[in-house]
């Protein structure tokens, strides 16, 4: 069992925002089990309010070229019309995401235009990605997100290594929830209690290690021997 835990902290005019990635892999040559639970509501015991980006991946690594879309979601805040001011602002920030190499530790927030046509966007990469790999993933997402949601004013697209979200609503430092999907493995652990205990202990250890990182990126990885699946 191998686990990586990443925290990112950013401060802005609306106060700090925290983003968390959690990656869990079990070493086995069996069908992939992926649980990706993104942008769920979460709050630490101290301010500022927290936006949690939670990513759980159980299965072999998928370090392959052309990382496919894992999941996408088109928002419900309305549609824009072709050649409108909103579409122009949206394409402006998507173009900036595609070409920008100025992300801070895998995080980039952009906006374009004025209300009511202002578009806000957030790009987020997994904590173990290099700047070039992060930029490549965000660039890919900026193209494919508009293909999946061609007329919606809000959309999200998830990959294994990054995610991209845009909206006509405020999204920086704002709690969001309800975005998730999962896959499951038909194989069973011989001892679910043993598996859960090993996982729980590893997660608590990595939580402390990651929290001890610097002010903008907190990252930790670790592994423990666990029961094989049957």
Instruction: Give burial (CB, 10 Å; 0-12/13-18/19+) of 203.
Output: middle
pLDDT at 22: 52
The CA distance from 31 to 54, in Å, is 22
Spatial CA neighbour of 141 closest among 116, 123, 118, 127: 123
Strand order in the sheet with 119-125: 71-74, 155-158, 162-167, 119-125, 107-112
Q: What is the pTM of this model?
A: 0.68
pLDDT at 165: 94
Residue 132 belongs to what H/E stretch?
helix 131-148
* Residue corresponding to tokens 């845009």: 166
pLDDT along the chain (230 residues), means of 10: 47 38 45 30 31 32 52 90 97 91 79 96 88 91 94 92 92 74 72 86 89 81 74
Domains of the chain: 2-221 (3.30.430.20)
pLDDT at 114: 96
Strand intervals (E) in the chain: 2-12, 15-25, 33-42, 50-58, 71-74, 107-112, 119-125, 155-158, 162-167, 179-182, 217-223
Q: Would you give the distance in Å from CA 169 to the centre of its chain?
A: 19
Contact 229, 188 (CB under 8 A): yes
pLDDT at 93: 96
pLDDT at 52: 31
Residue 31, C-beta contacts closer than 8 angstroms, at least 6 positions apart? 59, 185, 186, 187
Count helices and strands (H / E) in the chain: 3, 11
């Amino acid at each position: 069992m191998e686990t990586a835990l990443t925290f990112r902290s950013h401060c802005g005019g609306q106060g700090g925002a925290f983003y968390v990635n959690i990656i869990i892999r079990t070493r086995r040559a069996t069908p992939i089990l992926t649980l990706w639970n993104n942008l769920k509501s979460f709050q630490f015991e101290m301010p500022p309010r927290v936006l949690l980006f939670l990513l759980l991946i159980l299965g072999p690594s998928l370090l392959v070229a052309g990382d496919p879309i894992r999941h996408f979601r088109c928002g419900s805040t309305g549609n824009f019309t072709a050649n409108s001011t909103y579409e122009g602002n949206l394409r402006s920030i998507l173009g900036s995401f595609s070409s920008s190499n100025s992300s801070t530790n895998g995080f980039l927030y952009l906006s374009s235009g004025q209300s009511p046509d202002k578009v806000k966007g957030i790009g987020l990469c997994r904590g173990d990605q290099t700047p070039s790999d992060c930029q490549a993933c965000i660039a890919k997402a900026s193209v494919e997100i508009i293909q999946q949601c061609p007329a919606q004013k809000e959309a999200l697209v998830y990959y294994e290594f990054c995610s991209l979200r845009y909206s006509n609503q405020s999204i920086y430092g704002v709690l969001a929830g309800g975005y998730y999907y999962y896959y499951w493995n038909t194989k069973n652990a011989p001892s679910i209690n043993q598996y859960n205990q090993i996982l729980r202990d590893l997660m608590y250890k990595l939580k402390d290690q990651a929290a001890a990182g610097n002010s903008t990126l907190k990252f930790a990885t670790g592994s423990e021997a666990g029961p094989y699946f049957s």
